[in-house]
Structure 1
């Protein structure tokens, strides 16, 4: 099923009596669900773009590349740095902007600009009864009542079919600079990245990998970047130097170092100070790691046979999601009972027939 209008989509959902699997471009889905496939790729196109107001509205099936090209023509961009996970997951296809919202997919710039949900101004979606719901709008601070915009971001298609999204966007900075230090272990990197993030120099990226070392990014006007980069290097100490180009950040964003390699991939969110603890506990089964968000996000490549319980037992707090690999146990972090009751209540309200991506987030 591939509707080309919101009305056609609503009619399909209204008539549905069995589960359906929602799919945009199929490039970033994790978890499994059974049922007939309902594609949103037919709902495509940029509906409104006002560069002066830093606002863009697009239908859910619009390719991310198309959105980025429209913005680039005016030297603007999506603030949250959309990851391209096709290499990591071994998939082809075309990533859609609705899929990005459904996964709340966010890259290294989240430490400065927030996640995908923080750039969302409004959303339209079809709920499980076939009703078309609109929440938010095209300007900031106009949401009253329940903030369904934030609720839909990261819901993985379990509450409704997103049909249209509106974003605040930002100007592309004049220059960017990356500071790099090789030779730091995870604990040393977390300490250094904490210094950078605690500085007043508006860091827009803070990451570490065993191969590339620690990375810190600043962006803006050339004079400002030169000053901030120099001051940061003074604070960070010996071993840091400035490098140009965005290649390091694309590799962190897309976790491209794991592409084509054997092993299961886990996405782990923890307090940055806990990152070295997690890595130490999983050292016997770990093959590689990408640390983003100053240690708050860990991408782990572990041995295929590693039980999910072992990964989650290594976390002092936070949550772990199995992104790639068969494994055992649930894909998503099990919810505590109180939160599970809230989740069940939301699903009963928005999808009373139980047709959307059943079993996806368990």
Structure 2
């Protein structure tokens, strides 16, 4: 079912007699049974105030439409949402509602925060068809703040977003990246950690073990960027024997590929996303059995390409973080579950929230369960 108004969405959910498979642009490879419910036609920017750094858009608005409007005012989505299409082989269209529903955040998350940190207000339809409005359109309006945060990352299991209001930021004048060559995972994490702890405002920190390149991004006014690059060189001279610098154009191109995990586009095997403590990343990557991997968020995020059907969680064992299965066959996702097993306390809270917002259990049932 494709709807084009919030009222249609409300009426459809209220009269639904079975599970609903909630979708925006269908770009994230989620698998579960149910009647398809798409909000892709619930689209359009309803308010944009560049001076207030605020935008309001219907949930089905393409991310590209949002970015185009922001670019005209020299602004951007600061949390740098990744595009999953190349990774999972989807031909869909990413939507702004999908970005916030999945809390999709890119490399800049380590410096500015996640998508949920920019979400100001939401309108959504709950599991009984009621239209709920929460939050506001400016940062000082914190009414229902926790509920706004709750919807971000809920993957459509608590309600179907119909409209989102969010904060945007100015686009910096320029950027550059310092590349450290020849580092192991352990040495790269140490260098990235040192850079992130410095006063030089690093906005991206990634490592590619295959090329043995660790890349640190700085953004801002041109003089400031040049100064901070030189300071980082001095700071890290004992961490890396060889360094080079990517200019603005090359830096932007690198971070686009890093954001979208382009190195794993069109490859065989399953793709996993592991969130962890940066200091644990080298050991976790090793425990994966020598699989191809990339580090982001200064080591706090690991992308891994594993053999088809491999239980990565079983290989990693218990650790402080979680492993999400992003790309795999339907049978593998059903067997292993897309999401990590929740602790008993968190699982109890989750069940309570679902019972409150979706008492009939119609929204994406089973999607966020650890395994079928």
TM-score, normalisation: structure 1: 0.96
Partner of 1:234: 234
Does the Cα contact within 8 Å between 1:312 and 1:320 map onto a contact in 2? no
Deviation at 1:276, TM superposition (A): 0.5
Name the structure 1 match of 2:25. Answer: 25
Give the direction of change, closer, same or farther, for the CA distance of 1:222–1:332 in structure 2 (3 Å limit): same
Q: Distance in 2 between matches of 1:312 and 1:138?
A: 42
Aligned to 1:261: 267
Alignment of 1:280-319 (within 5 A): 280-284=286-290, 286=291, 288-313=292-317, 316-319=319-322
| CA shift for structure 1 position 311 | 3.9
Indicate yes or no: 2:246 matched with 1:243: yes
Q: What is the SS of the residue equivalent to 2:353?
A: helix
Instruction: State whether structure 2 residue 231 is matched by structure 1 residue 224.
Output: no
Instruction: Name the CA distance, whole Å, in 1 between partners of 2:243 and 2:131.
Output: 53
Moved over 3 A (4+): none
- Structure 1 pair 311–148 and aligned structure 2 pair: CA distance change class (3 A): farther
- Structure 2 equivalent of residue 215 of structure 1: 215
- Please tell me whether the aligned partners of residues 17 and 353 of structure 1 are also in contact (alpha carbons under 8 angstroms): no
Q: Is the 8 A contact 2:175 2:220 kept in 1?
A: yes
Separation (CA, whole Å) in 2 of partners of 1:185 and 1:89:
28
1:340 corresponds to: 347
- Report how far residue 145 of structure 1 moved: 4.6
Would you say the 8 A contact 2:156–2:363 is kept in 1? yes
Rounded Cα–Cα distance in structure 2 between residues aligned with 1:303 and 1:165: 38
Q: Which residue of 1 aligns with 2:368?
A: 361
Residue by residue over 1:141-188, the C-alpha shift from the partner in whole angstroms, topping out at 9 and shown as x without a partner, is 322356111101100000000000111101110000101012111001
Stretches of structure 1 that go unaligned for 5 or more consecutive residues are: none
Secondary structure of the equivalent of 2:336?
coil
Give the equivalent residue in structure 2 for 1:198.
197
- 1:188 aligned onto 2:187: yes
Give the superposition deviation at 1:349.
Answer: 0.2
What is the alpha-carbon distance in structure 2 between the residues aligned to residue 258 and residue 46 of structure 1?
33
User: What is the SS of the residue equivalent to 1:147?
Assistant: helix
CA positional deviation for 1:316: 2.6
- SS of alignment partner, residue 134 of structure 2: strand
In the superposition, relative to structure 1, how do residues 273 and 50 fare at CA in structure 2: closer, same or farther (>3 Å)?
same
C-alpha displacement of 1:14: 0.7
The CA distance in 1 between the partners of 2:144 and 2:62, in whole Å, is 31
Q: Secondary structure at the match of 2:166?
A: strand
Q: CA deviation at 1:228?
A: 0.8
Aligned equivalents of 2:222 and 2:111: distance in 1?
Answer: 18
2-structure distance, mates of 1:316, 1:130: 39
Q: How much does 1:211 deviate?
A: 3.5
Query: In structure 2, how many angstroms separate the alpha carbons of the residues matched to 1:55 and 1:29?
Result: 30
Aligned to 1:4: 4
Contiguous gaps of at least 5 residues in structure 2: none
Q: TM-score under structure 2 normalisation?
A: 0.94
Deviations 1:255-305 (A, max 9, x none): 111011111111000000000010111134x1x111100000000111114
**Matched positions, count:** 358
SS at match of 1:240: strand
The aligned residue for residue 324 of structure 1 is 327
